[in-house]
Chains A and B, each alone.
Chain A
Amino acid sequence: MNAAQQLELPQDSLNEWFDQRFEQKMAERDSAKTPSMTIIATKGTLDMAYPPFILASTASALGWDVSIFFTFYGLNLLKSDLDLKVTPLGNPAMPMKLPNGIEMPIPTSVMALMPGFEGMASSMMRKTMDNKGIASISELRDLCLEADVKMVACQMTVDLFDYSKQDFIPEISEWVGAASFLPTALEADVNLFV
């Protein structure tokens, strides 16, 4: 004799009760849970520095727990002295506009070959961003740190590129490998690779 028969409840109404209760409990559990996100940041250029820091700072403003794993060139985003550059090389989609909005009528593949062009393109992009009220990377990074975004650095990359840990911001929470980061990603609601 099962529980339903003991209580003289028809199986159908027991099932219905359970379904409702289950929905309710799941909803309670979902609303009690703090959403979380992990990002893997692999790029170290000025343009590709934006997505991880914008998404992380915004998520923390929404009340989410966020950690970013910086690996390979992404580790450059954690240097104390940020010297990020953008290159038109291999990037035909990059609009080459002067800060006053005038488009330069030269293909990016040609521009990229001019000596010193990278530096010029980078400072032009920084100037344009400033004109448009877009935060600088160091400003966004500070906002992330203020909001307790966890900055996790890849130990292997430091060894690979012979970096010195003194060159990086002291707020880095850990220097670890993939095996330490993946369990955090497993628990997160949102996982991004940039």
Chain B
Amino acid sequence: MSIEIAQTLDARGLNCPLPILRTKKAIAALQQGEILEMTSTDPGSLKDIESFCTQTGNELLGSSQSDGDYIFQIRKQ
């Protein structure tokens, strides 16, 4: 995927609700249109990040899994 990541966030090893709270904080620091890539190991974050994006209006560009990591790209609106 050829998208430009403005910021990465490593939330691996953290459990609910910390991945969401850290994501919220990281997004707050971005400019509109910039993209955050967040990595977590919490399986709950799959649904939670989706719901977070729907509620906050940020765009979930994609999510993928590799070796127990869940990786999300979120564009700030």
Known contacts A62-B52, A63-B55, A63-B56: A133-B21 contact under CB 8 Å: no
Q: Which of B16, B24, B42 has the most CB of A within 10 A?
A: B24
- Does any Cβ of A come within 8 Å of B15's Cβ? yes
Q: Mark B8-37, 1 if CB is under 8 A from A, else 0.
A: 000001111110110110000000000000
B: contact size bracket: 10 to 19
Alpha-carbon separation in the docked complex, A135 to B17 (Å): 8
Known contacts A61-B21, A61-B24, A143-B21: A54-B16 contact under CB 8 Å: yes
Q: Please state if A133 and B56 are interface contacts (CB–CB under 8 Å).
A: no
Q: Please state if A62 and B16 are interface contacts (CB–CB under 8 Å).
A: no
- B residues within 8 Å of A by Cβ? 13-18, 20-21, 23-24, 42, 52, 55-56
- A residues within 8 Å of B by Cβ? 54, 57-58, 61-63, 132-135, 140, 143
A–B Cβ pairs within 8 angstroms, 13 of them: A54-B16, A54-B17, A57-B21, A58-B17, A61-B17, A61-B23, A61-B24, A62-B56, A133-B13, A135-B14, A135-B18, A140-B17, A143-B21
